[in-house]
Amino acid sequence: MYSLYNQKEAEDYIKRYKNLPEELALRIYTSHLIGRDTSLVLHGGGNTSVKIMMKNIFGEEREVLFIKGSGCDLANIGPQGFPGLELEGLYKLSGLDNLDDETMVNQLRRHMIKADAPLPSVETLVHAFLSHRYIDHTHADSILVLTNQEDGKERIQQALKGKIAILPFIMPGFLLAKAVKEVYQKNPHIEAIVLLNHGIFTFGDSARQSYERMIYYVNCAREYIKERIGKRSVISCPSKIERLPFHFSARVIQILRGALTYKDEKGKLRRFIFKVDDSEEMVKVSLSNQVRMLSTTGVLTPDHIIRTKNYPLLLPSFSLDAGDDTLKEIIIEAVKKYTQEYDVYFARNASKKGYSLQKLDPYPRVFIIPGLGVLACGYTSKAAEIALDIAKHTVKAKIEAEGIGKYKSLEEEILFDMEYWILEQRKLGKGKLLPLQGQIVFISGGAGAMALGIAKCVIEAGAVVVLGDIDRQGLEKMKRKLIEKYGEGCVDTIEMDVTDIRSVEDGYARITNRWGGIDVVVGNAGIAVVGRIEELSCQDFQKVVKVNLEGIFNTIKASIPVFKRQGIGGNIIVNSSKNVFAPSPAFGAYSCSKAGAHQISKIAAMELAELGVRVNLINADAVFSEEDVPSKLWQAVGEQRMKARGLSLAQMKEYYRQRNLLKKEVTAEDVGRAVVFFASEQTPTTGATLPIDGGIPHAFPR
């Protein structure tokens, strides 16, 4: 690791933020340098600050502390992520003997210079009680490898040597700030303070000085570790690495996801999104001799417990001959044992408190599966991603720690205090649960306009969406559009041919190995040709039937084993057509293939109800485009359909709008909202057909 500080970049930041004080612009710059190095901080961890003299509305000079806001990420933080607080009032708090957390937070709010700014970091008082202009705080992996030892203090002293002080772990807040102030007053020459099992603070008169002190001391720790490990391999595993086969892994993950799903106090099914690291490195970890240690030792630093629980769940090695029933028995028993141990842990520690606590769910967030790798789950894809990143750093740090000594995490009681911190408890139940949160939605025909409208609606409802199609370029275009609007964490694509059952099965396995399983299948792939029966070639007829009927059959059939393994119900929603009830001349291949798909879907509704899987249909009509994505079907047949009616292509939209009772244009997002309605199970409905056509009397379901 070396300093990435670049004078030209620093000057560019000053120019970019020319309306800000130069000190704050440089604070943003070095915060980015820290935040983009995952060996220093992860996903909103750490904090940075700067103190600046400014005038208030009365023209009076006062010192303002700008500090990272709670929940902000140093990797991409901007000016709005640094709430300002009047320092004088904060510093007065250092004269108190005690200050509870809720009163402290109230004091932070009282001294903010902008009421709508984010809440300052819970470690604000540490920054306020130290006099330095710039302060940086990280949870550097190398520092934690040394502090999380039975002789952590001695190792830190040996490694960092220079002008540092060392404190035991103290919960973030007022008492930590008091301890930091006291140790600095006794040692005014120091450049850094190490908090055992927590991290490191560095400080300086300039942004560069504080940042480069951070790099220097973390490097000292890094070099100490390297010297003691030398050329030894710190991980021991079999010489031959045997991965679990791809489809077997998918079966295991689907069963695991089902075992974790539960009903909350309101009766709402809570599902988890997964993230999987099956890289060679993590597969080696899963097969290593250290795997037992990894699963029985606690988190690197207490704030991780909120994201990952204290321990991962280590699943046993599986026989490749095991059937689904055997796998279910093993996995469900492992999850049950984990949750029972969590319940005991909660009861043991909650009984020591003088106030009631709201118990969190007892389910693991991190998993080690021999031959598969390391997995993590969360209620959202972002939560799963954060848990997985923390898990991977934790695994590597623990193995290094064992390579130089004996890894030791904090006592259970301290970790419980962090997991059930009163400030975290106050947040429970305040977030709004989106209707499809935790669900994974697959949409076939994913490169078309209809899929775009559906995808937008299900993402906004909280789901992860996976688009499948044979059109690779079209999928990439859709993915770019959706990522631009919603970010990367909720969009994926897979190449899939719905006319090939093996392709569909492989696609579902790929979705599982990336996201955990499937909750909603939207059968949307479809094509059309125009031609009267006399003129229609058998080849064209069979091609349309193969996509529109056989494709829906394959899409449904391949999903059944997935739904069975998960055991948590699900939804299949077939994009049918108004032509099922109102066929058109010269459109026979399309109309009868859609009618067949409609019928097989109704049969699926009857057959799959015992699994809790609902099958419903949407009869949409005349959806021509979504944004700048045209309907491929209408591109192919629109001109011929209009010609048969004696109209031009330019008259198509208006013709279809005028022919429905409501005189409304039907959009892909109209269809998307119907998908959300069915998928969110607002009514006990299966086997239903919902027209999305503006009202066409001869297409009324009957």
Write the pLDDT tens digit of every residue in 195-206: 999 999 999 999
With contact defined as beta carbons under 8 Å apart, do 453 and 629 qualify? no
**Tokens encoding 281:** 């490195």
Give the pLDDT confidence of 627-657 residue by residue, as tens digits.
Answer: 777 777 766 676 676 677 777 767 777 888 8
- Chain centroid to CA 398: how far? 24
Q: Note the pLDDT of residue 622.
A: 79
Given the structure tokens 């070099």, which residue do they identify?
Answer: 223
Q: What is the pLDDT of residues 95-126, one digit of tens each?
A: 999 999 999 999 999 999 999 999 999 999 99
Is the model's pLDDT at 455 over the cut of 90? yes
Instruction: Give the distance from CA 455 to its chain's centroid.
Output: 17
Model confidence at 153: pLDDT above 80? yes
- The percentage of the chain sitting over the pLDDT mark of 90, rounded to a whole number, equals 86
Helix axes of 588-608 and 538-545: crossing angle, nearest 10 degrees? 30
671 close to 455: Cβ distance less than 8 angstroms? no
Q: In terms of C-beta density within 10 A (0-12 exposed, 13-18 middle, 19 or more buried), how is residue 292 classed?
A: exposed
Written as one letter, the residue type at 442 is F
Res. 13: pLDDT tops 80: yes
Q: In the predicted model, what is the mean pLDDT of residues 83-87?
A: 98
- Note every long-range contact of 359-362, with CB atoms under 8 Å and residues 24 or more positions apart, other chains counting: 360/419, 360/420, 360/428, 361/262, 361/270, 362/338
Question: Would the pTM of this model clear 0.85, i.e. be above it?
Answer: yes
Region 373-394: what's the mean pLDDT? 97
* pLDDT on residue 354: 80
Quick: pLDDT tens for 509-563: 999 999 999 999 999 999 999 899 999 999 999 999 999 999 999 999 999 999 9
Pairwise CA distance, residues 230 & 212, whole Å: 26
Could you give all domains of the chain from N- to C-terminal order, each with its CATH number? 7-229 (3.40.225.10), 246-425 (3.40.225.10), 440-699 (3.40.50.720)
pLDDT in tens, 399-441: 999 999 999 999 999 999 999 998 877 766 667 899 999 999 9
Q: What is the pLDDT of residue 329?
A: 98
The pLDDT-based confidence of 275 (bands split at 50, 70, 90) is: very high
The predicted structure's pLDDT at residue 650: 72
Q: pLDDT-based confidence at 462, cuts 50/70/90?
A: very high
Residue 172: pLDDT over 70: yes
Q: Residue 466's beta-bridge partner residues?
A: 442, 492
Distance in angstroms (rounded) separating the CA atoms of residues 695 and 661: 5
pLDDT of residue 299: 97
| pLDDT at site 71 | 85
Beta strand segments in 112-259, E = 134-138, 164-167, 192-195, 199-204
Instruction: Give pLDDT, residue 430.
Output: 66
Does the structure show a pLDDT above 70 at 244?
yes
CB atoms within 10 A of CB 300: 29
End-to-end CA distance of the chain: 70
What's the pLDDT score for residue 652?
78
Residue 302 burial (C-beta neighbours within 10 Å; 0-12, 13-18, 19+): buried
Give residue 588's pLDDT.
93
The confidence score (pLDDT) of residue 128 equals 98
Q: What is the mean pLDDT of residues 348-376?
A: 95
Chain mean pLDDT for the chain? 94
pLDDT tops 80 at residue 625? no
Q: Which of 5-14, 30-39, 585-594 has the lowest mean pLDDT?
A: 585-594
Reported as a single tens digit per residue, the pLDDT across 346-358 is: 999 999 988 889 9
Residues 276-298: what's their mean pLDDT?
96
| pLDDT for 638 | 63
DSSP H helical ranges for 466-519: 472-486, 501-515
Q: What is the pLDDT of residue 631?
A: 73
The proportion of the chain whose per-residue pLDDT surpasses 70, expressed as a percent, equals 97
For residue 41, give Cα distances in angstroms to 203, 231, 303, 538. 17, 27, 12, 63
Is residue 207's pLDDT more than 90?
Answer: yes
Q: Is the pLDDT of residue 470 over 70?
A: yes
Q: What is the mean pLDDT of the segment spanning 244-261?
A: 98
Of the listed ranges 132-146, 381-395, 634-648, the least confidently predicted one is 634-648
Q: Where in 576-663 does DSSP place strands (E)?
A: 613-620, 625-626, 629-630
Statement: residue 237 has pLDDT above 90: no
Q: Exposure of 265 by Cβ count < 10 A (0-12 exposed, 13-18 middle, 19+ buried)? A: exposed
